[in-house]
Chains A and B, each alone.
Chain A
C-alpha cells in the first residue's frame, strides 16, 4: 500500500543553514531586484497610492491634506453616473465572453486545421485589427458609420435595408452596441491567438488515438479537444474578461462616453473626473475612489466565477 502513503518529505539538508541557501541563490535574487523594483514602483505603489488618495478631497496638486474619510466612496456609490458606467463596462465584458470568446474558438479550430490552405493569411487578417492604433480605428469607424456620408449608411439605404440613415454613434440606443461591436472586432484577433495557442498544446498523439478508436471529427472535438482545452480556456476567459472590462481608448477616441454618457464606461468616468479639461476643478480623490470601487467590484465578479471555474478546471484537468 505504499502508493497510498504521502510522499516522504525531502529531508532537510544537514549543515545547510538558510544563510547558505541565500548565498547560493544570491545572484538569482540580485537579478530579480530590478524587476521587483519596477513592479513595486509601477504597479504596487500606484495601487496603494490610489487607495490612500481616495480618502482625501484632493485636486491632484501638492500633497493631499484634506482628509475626508469615506466621503469619496459614499459619493461614488451614490452616483448614478458611476453605476451607469459600470453597467456599460460590464456589457462590454458580457459581449466579449458570450460573443467574442466562442466565435474566436470556432475560427481557431478552423484555422488550426493543417490542411486549410492560406491559414496564415487568414490569421494575419484577423490579427491586424489588434495591432492597429485604437485612435485610428475610432476615427475610421466614425467615418464609416457617419449618418450623412458614411459608407455603411449609404450601402444600407442603397440596397433598401433602411429608409433613413442609422445614427450609429449619435443615438443613445445604438451607440453602445456599435462600440461593443467595434471592440469585439478589434480584440478578436488576440482571443483567436489565445485559442490557437491552447489548441496547439493538445498532443497530436491524442488526436490520432481518437481517430484509431473510431471517433469522427465532431466526436473528437466534443470528447477530446474541448475537455482538454478547459484549463487554458479558464485563463483565456479571465484574460478576455479583464481586457474588455477596461475598455477605454476606443470609447475615448470615438464618442468620449457620449452621446449624453450613453457609452460612458468606468475608465472614461474616472478619466473625466481626474483629467477632463472642461472640469474646472479636478477631483483626483473622487476619481481614485471610483477606481478602487471598480477594482474591488471586478475582483468580486472574478471571485464569483471562481467556484464554477475551479470545478471546470478540475474536470478538464482529470479528463
Chain B
C-alpha cells in the first residue's frame, strides 16, 4: 500500500470518527449543557424573547444583569427571536428538543403553546404576595386570561387597559384648520379630515387608516357594533353572523368615501405597522386611530409635537359598542413544561412580574404595565399617559369571552381562527381601495360564516353548541360579568 493511500485512509477514518461524534451531538446526546444546581453550582436559565420595542435588547440585558447580581447562582441566557417569527422560532426550539426555560408567547400564541402541552403550570409557585401585586380581582382564575383549567400558566407584561384604542391627533394642525377639539362623531371626523386634506397642499392629510390592513376600520367599528362582530363576524348576543350590521358596513363605507375623495394619506395601502406614527411625528397626518403604544413612539421621534389623545369618534346615531376588555391581562411570559430547573425559571419569571421590573419597563418605554403600582403615580402626571388612561376608563368594557367561558366556545373560536378569510379585513380593504360597496360583500361573508358555523357545529357535535358562543343577556354598552 502506498504511503499516500495509507495517509488518505487514516484521514478518512479520522473524519468518520469526527463526523460520528458531530452526528451524535446533532441528534442530542441527552446531556444537559447547563450546570447542575444540585451541586450548588450555577444554573443557566434560557429566556426566549423578542427585541421589541426598539431598545428592548439592551433593556432586557441590563435587567437580567441586575437579576443575576441579586441571584447568584442563576445565569440568564437571552435568545432573541424576530418579532414576526417569535412563535415559529420557539416552536422550532421545542421540536429540536432544546426549548427555552422561559419564553414569550403573546395572546393567542400562548394558547398554541398551551394546547401542545409545552407550558408549565405556575400554580405551585404562586403566593398571596405575588397575587397582591396586581389590581384587585384581576387574577380571578375564571377571567384573568392567564389561567387555564383554573391554574395559572402565564404572566402578563402590560395592563389590560393597554388594549384600548385611541384617536391620536395633531393639535397644531387642527388649530390651523379652525378646529379646537378632535372629532366626536364619524361625520365630524370625515368633515374635519376632508378640510385638512384640502388645505394641506399635498403635504398634510386629514386622516390615515393606520396600516395597510386598514386597522382603523376595526377600531372605529368597535364603537358601533359588539366587538365579536368585528373580530369574528358573529354577534355573541345571538350567535348569528353579523358582518352586514349597519355599524360595521358604515365603518367601511366611511373609509371608502374618504379614499375615493382623496382625503386619506396616499400610500397607506403599503404601510407597515410603524409607518403611521412615523408620518404623524413628521407632521404629515392630522388624525388616526391607534393602539396606545404609538403615543410614546411619536414622543420619542418629536418630543415637542402638539399631540392630543382622545376617545375614538362614535357613529352619528350613537355608540353601539366599546373597545373590548376580554380579560384583564394578555399572556406574555410562560415557563416551558420541559424545563429542568423550574425553581430557577420561576425566579426569573417572578422577577419579570416584579414591581421593580415593571417600573423600569414603564420608565424605559412608556408602556402601562400589568403591575399598576409601578407607574400609576407617574402616569397621572404625564399628560399623554393620563389621556390614555382616561380613554381606557371611558372607552372599554368587559365583554364575554367564549374561549374562557367553556371548552365548546374555545373549540368553535379555534376553528374560526383557522378560517381567516371569513373575517372582514381583506374584503374591507378591497372595498376601500377599489371603491366597491361593502354591503353585498358583507352579506356574502355572513352566508359563508353561517355555513362555517353549521359545519363546525356538526363536526363538534357533542362537545360544542351554538350556546357556547351566545350570551343573550350581554349588553355591549355595559360591563359583562361571567355570572350574567
- Asked if A and B are interacting partners, one says yes
Contact residues of A with B, CB < 8 Å? 27, 30, 60-62, 142, 146-148, 164-165, 167, 169-172, 175, 254-256, 258-261, 275, 277-283
Partner of B108, one of A146, A170, A280: A280
From residue B121, how far is it (CB to closest CB) to chain A in Å?
A: 21
Say whether B270 contacts A172, CB under 8 Å: no
- B215-241, CB under 8 A of A: which get 1 and which 0? 000000000000000000000000000
Q: Which residues of B contact A282 (CB under 8 A)?
A: 88
Say whether A148 contacts B267, CB under 8 Å: yes
**A127–B12 CA distance with the chains assembled, in angstroms:** 41
Known: A148-B284, A258-B212, A281-B418. A164 touches B202 (CB 8 A): yes
From residue A37, how far is it (CB to closest CB) to chain B in Å?
A: 10
Say whether B269 contacts A260, CB under 8 Å: yes
Say whether B417 contacts A167, CB under 8 Å: no
Chain B: how many interface residues by the 8 Å CB criterion?
35
Q: Which residues of B contact A283 (CB under 8 A)?
A: 418
Whether B85 is near chain A, meaning CB under 8 Å from some CB there, is yes
From residue A250, how far is it (CB to closest CB) to chain B in Å?
A: 13
**What residue in chain A is nearest B203 (Cβ atoms)?**
A148
Count: A-B pairs, CB below 8 Å: 81
Say whether B270 contacts A169, CB under 8 Å: yes
From residue B419, how far is it (CB to closest CB) to chain A in Å?
A: 9
Known: A167-B266, A167-B267, A167-B269. A260 touches B417 (CB 8 A): no
Q: Which residues of A contact B267 (CB under 8 A)?
A: 146-148, 167, 169-170
**What residue in chain B is nearest A59 (Cβ atoms)?**
B112
Partner of A255, one of B8, B203, B270, B418: B270
**A298–B463 CA distance with the chains assembled, in angstroms:** 44
From residue B456, how far is it (CB to closest CB) to chain A in Å?
A: 13
Whether B95 is near chain A, meaning CB under 8 Å from some CB there, is yes
Whether B265 is near chain A, meaning CB under 8 Å from some CB there, is yes
Say whether B88 contacts A275, CB under 8 Å: yes
Whether B414 is near chain A, meaning CB under 8 Å from some CB there, is yes
Can you list 17 contacts pairing A with B, beta carbon distance less than 8 Å? A30-B12, A146-B267, A148-B202, A148-B279, A165-B202, A165-B266, A169-B269, A170-B269, A171-B433, A175-B270, A254-B270, A255-B270, A259-B212, A259-B270, A260-B269, A261-B426, A275-B88
**What residue in chain A is nearest B205 (Cβ atoms)?**
A148
Say whether B417 contacts A281, CB under 8 Å: yes
Known: A275-B85, A277-B87. A259 touches B433 (CB 8 A): yes
Q: Which residues of A contact B269 (CB under 8 A)?
A: 167, 169-172, 175, 258-260
Say whether A61 contacts B266, CB under 8 Å: no
**A256–B85 CA distance with the chains assembled, in angstroms:** 15
**A259–B264 CA distance with the chains assembled, in angstroms:** 15
Q: Which residues of A contact B265 (CB under 8 A)?
A: 148
**A113–B264 CA distance with the chains assembled, in angstroms:** 53
From residue A173, how far is it (CB to closest CB) to chain B in Å?
A: 10
Which of A27, A275, A281, A282 has the largest number of chain B CB atoms within 10 A?
A281
**A186–B272 CA distance with the chains assembled, in angstroms:** 23
Partner of A280, one of B8, B417, B426, B434: B417
**A148–B434 CA distance with the chains assembled, in angstroms:** 21
Chain B residues 261 to 287 lying within 8 A of chain A, measured CB to CB, are 265-270, 272, 279, 284
**A279–B416 CA distance with the chains assembled, in angstroms:** 11
Q: Which residues of B contact A165 (CB under 8 A)?
A: 202, 266
Known: A30-B12, A167-B267, A277-B85. A62 touches B116 (CB 8 A): yes
Contact residues of B with A, CB < 8 Å? 8, 12, 83-88, 91, 94-95, 108, 112, 116, 202-203, 212, 265-270, 272, 279, 284, 414, 417-418, 420, 426, 429-430, 433-434
Say whether B433 contacts A172, CB under 8 Å: yes
Q: Which residues of A contact B266 (CB under 8 A)?
A: 147-148, 165, 167, 170
**What residue in chain A is nearest B413 (Cβ atoms)?**
A280
Given A148-B266, A169-B269, 15 extra CB contacts under 8 A: A27-B8, A60-B88, A62-B116, A142-B270, A147-B267, A148-B267, A148-B284, A175-B269, A175-B270, A259-B433, A260-B269, A260-B430, A260-B434, A275-B85, A277-B87
Which of B87, B268, B269, B414 has the largest number of chain A CB atoms within 10 A?
B269
**What residue in chain A is nearest B284 (Cβ atoms)?**
A148
Q: Which residues of B contact A169 (CB under 8 A)?
A: 267, 269-270
| A interface SS class | loop
Q: Which residues of B contact A171 (CB under 8 A)?
A: 269, 433
From residue B214, how far is it (CB to closest CB) to chain A in Å?
A: 10
**What residue in chain B is nearest A172 (Cβ atoms)?**
B433
Q: Which residues of B contact A27 (CB under 8 A)?
A: 8
**What residue in chain B is nearest A272 (Cβ atoms)?**
B420
Q: Which residues of A contact B8 (CB under 8 A)?
A: 27
From residue A180, how far is it (CB to closest CB) to chain B in Å?
A: 15
From residue A186, how far is it (CB to closest CB) to chain B in Å?
A: 18
Q: Which residues of B contact A30 (CB under 8 A)?
A: 12
Partner of A279, one of B268, B279, B420: B420
10 closest residue pairs by CB, A with B: A259-B269, A170-B269, A280-B417, A147-B266, A281-B418, A170-B267, A147-B267, A169-B270, A277-B84, A170-B270
**A62–B112 CA distance with the chains assembled, in angstroms:** 13
**What residue in chain B is nearest A281 (Cβ atoms)?**
B418
**A275–B82 CA distance with the chains assembled, in angstroms:** 12
**A255–B272 CA distance with the chains assembled, in angstroms:** 9
Q: Which residues of B contact A175 (CB under 8 A)?
A: 269-270
Say whether A260 contacts B426, CB under 8 Å: yes
Q: Which residues of A contact B202 (CB under 8 A)?
A: 148, 164-165
**A258–B268 CA distance with the chains assembled, in angstroms:** 11
**What residue in chain A is nearest B212 (Cβ atoms)?**
A258
Q: Which residues of A contact B279 (CB under 8 A)?
A: 148
**A62–B95 CA distance with the chains assembled, in angstroms:** 7
**A142–B212 CA distance with the chains assembled, in angstroms:** 14
**A261–B430 CA distance with the chains assembled, in angstroms:** 9
Partner of B429, one of A167, A259, A278: A259
**A175–B433 CA distance with the chains assembled, in angstroms:** 13
Known: A146-B267, A170-B268, A171-B269. A260 touches B95 (CB 8 A): no
Q: Which residues of B contact A60 (CB under 8 A)?
A: 88, 91
**A256–B212 CA distance with the chains assembled, in angstroms:** 10
Known: A148-B203, A164-B202, A260-B426. A61 touches B91 (CB 8 A): yes
Say whether B434 contacts A172, CB under 8 Å: yes
**What residue in chain A is nearest B19 (Cβ atoms)?**
A34
From residue B38, how far is it (CB to closest CB) to chain A in Å?
A: 31
**A260–B433 CA distance with the chains assembled, in angstroms:** 8
**What residue in chain A is nearest B415 (Cβ atoms)?**
A281
Q: Which residues of B contact A142 (CB under 8 A)?
A: 270
**What residue in chain B is nearest A167 (Cβ atoms)?**
B266
Q: Which residues of A contact B112 (CB under 8 A)?
A: 280
**A53–B430 CA distance with the chains assembled, in angstroms:** 32
**A125–B152 CA distance with the chains assembled, in angstroms:** 60
Q: Which residues of B contact A164 (CB under 8 A)?
A: 202
**What residue in chain B is nearest A283 (Cβ atoms)?**
B418
Q: Which residues of B contact A61 (CB under 8 A)?
A: 91, 94-95, 116
Say whether B85 contacts A258, CB under 8 Å: no
Q: Which residues of A contact B414 (CB under 8 A)?
A: 281
Q: Which residues of B contact A275 (CB under 8 A)?
A: 85, 88
**What residue in chain B is nearest A81 (Cβ atoms)?**
B421
From residue A79, how far is it (CB to closest CB) to chain B in Å?
A: 9
